[in-house]
Amino acid sequence: MDGRDGSDDSSEDKEGDFLTNISNLENVERLNFDFEAYPLIDSDKDGIINLLTQIFLRAPVDLNSLADKLIQQAPFGCVYRTAEEFADEDGEDLIYGILSMASLNIKYKYAIDIWDLLKSRVHKYIEENVINRLTELFNMNDSVGLLINERFLHFPPSIAAPAFNSLKNDMKAFEGFCNFTTVLLIVKIRIAEAMVSSQSYIKKKGKKMGKAAKKRAAAALISNSDVIYDNAEEKLLFQGIMNFDYFQYPVHSEVEKESKFGSIVVGGVTYRPYRRICFLNNEQFKNFVDIVSNAKGL
């Protein structure tokens, strides 16, 4: 079974039903609609694949084997479900989010696919020093991990602090398993249209600029642009003093025009979807987990 086929529509339909049922996700806590973290189990697989599809969209990544890997690692990691007292006895046990980690060792098919995806994007959009960094990480792939932090769009971000605290405890309990030297984060962001248009202008003006200069100019524009983070806690990465490499690439061509994962308009400004790939060393990653675990008012 190919984990991607039909998963996007399924995920969107289920999330749409959820949104309709409670009318406004911002009112979840007011409605006393509580969620809890649970260990991953076999019956979560389809829901996990749907959530992974939100990250990778149409990219040729073996989500089926990635979901299997995440489930095999249980009790490491967690998924979000409604608390037992709110569970619908007649309905399916829907999962609303997942927080876990996976090895990017190329002995796994999904890992090869993810490395291929990142290498194809970095060569198209990014300057040489980041390409070299990605190549360096690929060559040491057996010690590189991937954080999976995904949930339904607009799901209450207040779940992040207790979930990351649970992850911190798991990392201590399973230290040998997840002691990666580098952890990759795939951050879902949307960038203001004005900055995207400026990038296009740079490309058109590029007859007077070398390829590397164009990439540097485009990267500088985006790094200073107005950004919306789908997961609010991931913004904390860029508000501290951590210094780490990252790159980003557009994904609006991989999303249906009317999809909630596509472009959005806020205050009259259009924001296009991107993926931002962050490279954190072990210490930086643990620091990030600590920061989110203690975050207030997300």
pTM confidence score: 0.80
Question: What was the pLDDT predicted at 282?
Answer: 96
Domain ranges, ordered by start, for the chain: 7-293
The more confidently predicted of residues 258 and 236 is 236
pLDDT digit string, tens, across residues 137-191:
999 999 999 999 999 988 889 999 999 999 999 999 998 888 899 999 999 999 9
pLDDT band at 256 (very low <50, low <70, confident <90, very high): confident
Helix (H, G, I), strand (E, B) or coil at 222: helix
Q: Greatest CA span in the chain, whole angstroms?
A: 66
The more confidently predicted of residues 279 and 255 is 279
Question: What was the pLDDT predicted at 113?
Answer: 98
Nearest Cα residue to 254 out of 87, 58, 74: 58
Percent share of the chain, pLDDT over 70? 75
The gap from C-alpha 223 to its chain's centroid, in whole angstroms, comes to 18
Question: What was the pLDDT predicted at 34?
Answer: 80
Helix (H, G, I), strand (E, B) or coil at 124: helix
Separation of first and last alpha carbons in the chain? 37
Q: What does residue 258 show for φ and ψ, rounded to 5 degrees?
A: -90, 0
Q: Are 209 and 217 in contact (CB under 8 A)?
A: yes
Peptide bond into 75 cis (omega under 30): yes
Which residues does residue 248 pair with via DSSP β-bridges, in sequence order?
Answer: 276
Which residues does residue 41 pair with via DSSP β-bridges, in sequence order?
Answer: none
